[in-house]
Structure 1
Amino acid sequence: MDLISQIVERAKANKQHIVLPEGTEERTLKAANQILTDGVADLTLLGNPDEIMALAKEWGLGNIHKATIIDPETSPKKEAYAQLLCELRKKKGLTIEEARKLVLDPLYYGCLMIKAGDADGQLAGARNTTGNVLRPALQIIKTAPGITCVSGAMLLLTHAPECGDNGVIVMGDVAVTPVPDAGQLAQIAVCTARTAKAVAGIEPRVAMLSFSTKGSAKHEVVDKVVEALKIAKEMDPALKIDGEMQADAALVPRIGQSKAPGSEIAGYANVLVVPSLEVGNISYKLVERLGHATAVGPILQGIARPVNDLSRGCCIDDVYKMIAITANQAIAAKAQE
């Protein structure tokens, strides 16, 4: 069974409630119909019920009626959610009138559902920017305990079974924090390891990547990676992690043993943590295009409950996979409580 099938099966076995704020968006609706047909997750679609059902009829989506459909403007819970939002943001000076307006925004409404315990995760971004998706998540759900830095991991399903976990590599950060400092980089390492376990179902072996392996080069950007490694070990003493190391030393046992003798990670890493966003973004796209790997994500991490951001260029299959991934993250978040 391939990894995506495993992710879907785990979601089916422990069904989670996922909110889709873009309830009238075509790809979202078509993916939702398939999720409901396959029994992968319970769904709430946000939007006008009449419009959603009319679109479902037009596109032949026979199972959309299995979703809960809520219009934030007519929801009986909108006042309670407005009061909750006002309480959460009162130190920032948010008034109840402003909260009542924000609750009508499906991206805010969905995050308030999660905060109130009425849903387990949210997926949006087919129509909205990353900033718009993240803003309410950070204001309402906030970051996970001990984490201040949100980041994005990418699943790379490669054609190199000798690398990673039978060709599966998890890379972070590829999506959010442009130039992390050592503390943020340590958080990215810990969070990416958690994502590897929660979503890919693998025991993480983390390599902190650089252009240097164990002091082979000297530079302040190498020093940052060395410091991040130290902090990550303090954050999670049980985590299998090592660095700094070059990518070939992280992935190829012969090279790992030569460049970093004695390291249990060198040559066997399945989680790669890059020193900056540009490195991560460029790297995964090169692997995807030149190596014909399948890139799944980005999977947002560091938020107390899963809120994921789609690319506006996503396809129906992308939405389907990300709903299943969001459900897996929700299962893991509950297990950590």
Structure 2
Amino acid sequence: MSEWIEKVKDRAKKQKKTIVLPESEDPRVIEAAKKALAAGIANIVILGDSDKVDVPGATVINPRHSDKHEAYAQKFAKLRARKGVTIVQARENMNDATYFGMMMVKMGDADGLVSGACHSTANTLRPALQILKTAPDAKLVSAFFVVCSPKHEYGDKGTLIFADSGLNIDPTAEELVEIAASTAKTWRGFMEDEPRIGMMSFTTMGSAKGAVPDKMQEATRLANKRYPELELDGDLQVDAALVPEVATIKAPHSHVAGKVNIMIFPDLACGNISYKLVQRFGDAEAYGPLLQGIAKPVNDLSRGCSPDDVVGVIAITCVQAQMMDAAMARAESEA
């Protein structure tokens, strides 16, 4: 395990949160729940049949038989009334573990939710947006992976963030700016280092023409104008972003090249392919897709995840909940 994820687990233990796992049918999730409880990382709620789920220390809830089922259905019907959702439909939705879990988070009965081991990102994101909605300061929901490489010379002791690697298929230059800003905020919450953002391409500083470099150059221009406090530059190739010796050749005037710790990719194909290659060929840990821009902590999982990956995402979700609590407390004290 990387030093970074161990620090996240330690942070999670200091202020334990309650995390909902709606995929009781997946043995990896059950094993992860046992590990998270044994390590004292979180309080765990598993949604499923208590006769089939054997996880000592976890709270097991069958959504269909829960005493909260009707109250959640009534609340969901109100939330979705403008979309024509009836109470009958809402009750049916509450039979679904993911929808029920999201309502637990909405109503304050849990602090966060982790899903996606055996469901698509859409199955997690759709109820999250319907029930929890976007955060007040968010212009866009996006997804990222924390990649922890054994090559400590890259990023922050081997830790980098890849975004968007799990959600937005072909973001515009404007959307890339918001993804970069959100990811910088995420980085500050998790890391001890300042964010240094590379707008990635197959080119460096306009070394070739094309739609991708044009988009990344425009995103860089907009980001530097809108968020001048960010250390951000582009377009950059991977070697120019990460390797100081290459950066001095390809981007000698860049203040970011050679020391990037956040990679913003031009599209989902680049981001998703890149993280999987680094994970598999580079023997790296990859946690995600983690979601940013939702009002409460909800995180997705890769369907190829291991139980240890799930434990890591549970810990990350706990820390996100801690950070949201701290931000809310600051806002209330300043009001």
1:226 equivalenced with 2:217 (yes/no): yes
State TM-score, norm by structure 1: 0.89
Match of 2:195 in 1: 204
> How far is 1:275 from its partner?
0.6
Match of 2:34 in 1: 33
Match of 2:24 in 1: 23
Match of 1:264 in 2: 255
Match of 2:332 in 1: none
The one of 315, 318, 322 equivalent to 2:313 is 322
Match of 1:135 in 2: 126
Cα distance in 1, alignment partners of residues 155 and 319 from structure 2: 21
> How far is 1:187 from its partner?
2.1
Question: Structure 1's 292 and 235: CA in aligned 2 closer, same or farther, altered over 3 A?
Answer: same
Cα RMSD of the aligned pairs, angstroms, is 2.1
For 1:133-282, list aligned pairs within 5 A: 133-233=124-224, 236-282=227-273
Match of 1:59 in 2: none
Q: For residues 172-213 of structure 1, give each alpha carbon's deviation from its aligned partner in whole angstroms, at most 9, with x where no partner exists.
A: 111111111112212221222233333455421111111232
> How far is 1:233 from its partner?
4.3
Question: Structure 1's 106 and 233: CA in aligned 2 closer, same or farther, altered over 3 A?
Answer: farther
* Unmatched segments (≥5 aa) in structure 1: 57-63
State TM-score, norm by structure 2: 0.90
> How far is 1:24 from its partner?
4.4
Percentage of matched positions with identical amino acids: 47
Match of 1:14 in 2: 15
Question: Structure 1's 141 and 231: CA in aligned 2 closer, same or farther, altered over 3 A?
Answer: farther
1:109 equivalenced with 2:100 (yes/no): yes
Please tell me the residue identity of whatever aligns with 1:12: K
Cα distance in 2, alignment partners of residues 281 and 129 from structure 1: 14
> How far is 1:237 from its partner?
4.3
> How far is 1:127 from its partner?
2.6
> Helix, strand or coil: the match of 1:162?
coil
Match of 1:45 in 2: 46
> How far is 1:168 from its partner?
1.4
Is the CA contact (8 Å cut-off) linking 1:7 and 1:200 kept in structure 2? Answer: no
> How far is 1:259 from its partner?
3.0
> How far is 1:146 from its partner?
4.0
> How far is 1:285 from its partner?
2.2
Cα distance in 2, alignment partners of residues 262 and 334 from structure 1: 40
* Unmatched segments (≥5 aa) in structure 2: 329-335
Q: For residues 237-271 of structure 1, give each alpha carbon's deviation from its aligned partner in whole angstroms, at most 9, with x where no partner exists.
A: 43322222222221122332333334321111111
Question: Structure 1's 78 and 234: CA in aligned 2 closer, same or farther, altered over 3 A?
Answer: farther
For this pair of structures, how many residues does the alignment match?
Answer: 327
Detail structure 1 runs of 4+ shifted over 4 Å in the superposition: 233-237
